[in-house]
Amino acid sequence: MREYLAALRTELSIRSGHHGAELPSNHVTRVFPRASLPFGSRLETLYFGGGTPSRLGAGGMRDLVDLVRDYYELEPNAEVTVEANPEDVTSDTIEAWVGAGINRLSLGVQTFDDSVLEWMHRTHSASHARNAFAQARQGGFSNISVDLIFAVPAKLGRSWHRDIGQVLALEPDHISLYGLTAEPATPLARWMSRGLVEAMPDDSYADEFLFAHDSATDAGFTHYEVSNFAKPGRVSRHNSAYWTESPYMGAGPSSHSFDGSSRSWNVAPYAEWVSRLAGGGGATDGVEKLTPANRVTEKIYLGLRTTKGLAFAGRDLETVRRWSAEGWATIGGSMVRLTPEGWLRLDALAAGLTGL
């Protein structure tokens, strides 16, 4: 823990260009160059995730928030999120996290089926997940998101209807749903290549996605992005920045940043990240300058994945009319918005547009 926090302090010091010069307390940076953020800038959102930061425990997370505050200010209403495994949530950790200013919890439940959790190599149980949620509520978290995975292999016998019923019974403020995918060089990919596990058929995948949509919206959630549902006022402000092409800065191994015109990313291996920073260098591993064509493609894809929709060009009118006729989209003026059935075809539909 000490090694990680020391390396992160070095990276934030490099990124902020901190040499002891204080900036005015009212300084706010909206656009920043080269994925850096000047010392003293105010943050609208702060997200600890993309891994298992909850493993830092009570004191570690408190130290992590304090470290960030040494270089940057938080807006008074900043959204501060931590991703947590249910087994890391205790009354002590909740008290420390709330005391540190963390006001949003993203809980990686995945499923309430103990046999499927074991198959996923998760170390928590369904009862752990329910207890973690209850402790977070009792400890002061009024904004809790729950992650679930759908489309697991049918041979596991998981009841998706039961999982959706159980997550809705918890009354979370936000739900994120992700279809199971087999990433290269993972055990799941190897099992599938050997025929030991079969991916869920497309029709069943669609049925589970649409059942979740119907159930969550009936319960008062807004399906505001292809994978995300929120109660009123609980849309993830941080994740929404990614989908609206807002600049953001990432720190830590494998983190990504975007400065408005290019993306950069850090080295992925933890040991290399530590070593580079200890040697006085930066941790950046690569930079991608977005071309005009890249930007158009991303604008189309990102616009179609949210309920805000996309302004389409006149030459695409016939294309989006066909989508509407198929029930894949709705058209309002010059805006097209995909329906849940359309989101199931997101990649193909985005590729079908010629430009903006």
**Mean pLDDT per 10-residue segment, the chain (356 residues):** 93 79 43 64 92 87 94 95 95 95 97 96 95 97 98 94 98 96 84 85 96 98 98 96 91 93 94 94 92 91 95 89 96 95 95 73
- Give Cα 77 to chain centroid, integer Å: 20
Residue whose structure tokens are 């207890």: 131
Four-residue CA torsion sign, 230, 232, 236, 240: positive
User: What pLDDT, on the 0 to 100 scale, is given for residue 354?
Assistant: 65
Query: Six-digit token pair at 183?
Result: 């990433």
User: What pLDDT, on the 0 to 100 scale, is given for residue 282?
Assistant: 87
The rounded distance, in Å, linking the Cα atoms of 306 and 285 is: 30
Please give the model's pTM, rounded to 2 decimal places. 0.91
The pair phi, psi for residue 178, each rounded to 5°, is -130, 130
The rounded distance, in Å, linking the Cα atoms of 126 and 87 is: 10
Domains and CATH numbers, the chain: 38-243 (3.20.20.70), 292-351 (no CATH)
Q: What is the DSSP string of 246-311?
A: --B---STT-EEE-SSEEEEE-SSHHHHHHHHHTT---EEEEEEPPHHHHHHHHHHHHHTBTT-EE
